[in-house]
Amino acid sequence: DQQVKQNSPSLSVQEGRISILNCDYTNSMFDYFLWFKKYPAEGPTFLISISSIKDKNEDGRFTVFLNKSAKHLSLHIVPSQPGDSAVYFCAASAQGGKLIFGQGTELSVKP
C-alpha cells in the first residue's frame, strides 16, 4: 500500500522555465509534508516543508503547494537551473510519526 505516490518517474525542463513536481497521498491523517533532493552517490538533503495548516510555503526559488481536499502537493522551482537536476522525494508524516516517502521523481534541467 503506497501511501505517498510520485507518479512521474522523470521530468525534463528547459533552464529558466518552471519545474513542477507532483505528489499524491492517501492517508488523510498526514499533517506534515517534506521535500528532499538527492544527487547521485549522495544522501538526500532536506529542501522545504509544509504543515497541513498552510496551503503554501515559499523559500527562494522553491515553493510547495498543498491541496488537502485533493490530497495533493506540488513543488515548484522557478526559475529552474541545471544544478537543480536531481531526484526529488516527497515525504509525509502524521502527528510527528515516521516519515513515509514517495518513489522519487528525477528532474533533468537542460541548458
Partner 1 sequence: NAGVTQTPKFRILKIGQSMTLQCTQDMNHNYMYWYRQDPGMGLKLIYYSVGAGITDKGEVPNGYNVSRSTTEDFPLRLELAAPSQTSVYFCASSANRGLTEAFFGQGTRLTVV
Using the contact rule CB under 8 A, the part of the chain among 13-21, 40-48, 57-65, 75-83 near partner 1 is 40-48
85 contacts partner 1 (rule: CB under 8 A)? no
Q: What is the DSSP string of 5-54?
A: E---SEEEEETTS-EEEEEEE--TT--EEEEEEE-TTS--EEEEEEETT-
53 contacts partner 1 (rule: CB under 8 A)? no
Give the nearer residue to partner 1 in terms of CB position, either 20 or 94: 94
94 contacts partner 1 (rule: CB under 8 A)? no
The three-class DSSP label of residue 82 is helix
Task: Pick one of 46, 59, 78, 82: the residue that binds partner 1 (CB under 8 A).
Answer: 46
**In the complex, what is the shortest distance from the CB of residue 55 to partner 1, in angstroms, rounded to a whole number?**
19
Which is nearest to 10 in space by CA: 108, 109, 110?
Answer: 108
